[in-house]
């Protein structure tokens, strides 16, 4: 247990307060962000395109190239020709592989734009 606590503290995921180990706020969000950042680095090295992180409320468009399965969930890789973005994957887009789509991520909701459909929130 001591080694686990030391590791968490070294990683900035916990703090010691006397004998107690307190986990940082939003630990799952921090771990998800780290995992997503590492996956993006790996993909960028593999395909030679720059990763473009998606800010909350930002609209991103590109060709849906593939899905990426991570411990924190599944993501869709959208390629805009100059770079790529990883956005939360939803089953509704699977038939759109290789096609141009757009997405806006707001908090926990994802709004997809595909073909003639103006907007689909899932």
Answer whether residue 59 is part of any domain: yes
Pairing of strands 109-114, 117-121: antiparallel
Pairing of strands 83-88, 50-51: parallel
Answer whether residue 80 is part of any domain: yes
pLDDT tens digits along 57-90: 999 999 999 999 999 999 999 999 999 999 999 9
What distance, in Å, lies between the first and last C-alpha atoms of the chain? 41
Answer whether residue 8 is part of any domain: no
pLDDT tens digits along 8-58: 999 999 999 888 999 999 899 899 999 999 999 999 999 999 999 998 899
Pairing of strands 109-114, 100-106: antiparallel
Answer whether residue 54 is part of any domain: yes
Answer whether residue 2 is part of any domain: no
Answer whether residue 4 is part of any domain: no
Find the domain containing 75 and state its range.
Answer: 13-121
Answer whether residue 5 is part of any domain: no
Q: How far, CA to CA in Å, does 73 sit from each of 3, 35, 52?
A: 28, 10, 19
Answer whether residue 76 is part of any domain: yes
Of 90, 109, 89, 105, which is closest to residue 55 (Cα–Cα)?
105
Q: Which residue is it, tokens 């070294």?
A: 10
* Token pair listed for 2: 């001591």
Global pTM? 0.80
Q: How many domains does the chain have?
A: 1
Cα distance between residue 120 and residue 96, in whole Å: 14
């Amino acid at each position: 247990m001591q080694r686990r606590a030391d590791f968490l503290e070294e990683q900035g995921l916990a703090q010691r307060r006397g004998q107690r180990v307190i986990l940082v706020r939003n630990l799952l969000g921090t771990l998800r962000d780290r995992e997503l950042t590492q996956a993006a680095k790996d993909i960028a090295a593999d395909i030679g395109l720059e990763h473009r992180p998606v800010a909350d409320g930002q609209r991103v468009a590109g060709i849906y190239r593939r899905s990426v399965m991570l411990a924190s969930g599944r993501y869709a890789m959208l390629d805009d020709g100059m770079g790529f973005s990883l956005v939360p994957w939803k089953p509704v887009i699977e038939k759109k592989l290789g096609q141009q789509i757009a997405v806006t991520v707001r908090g926990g909701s994802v709004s997809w734009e595909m073909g003639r459909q103006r907007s689909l929130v899932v």
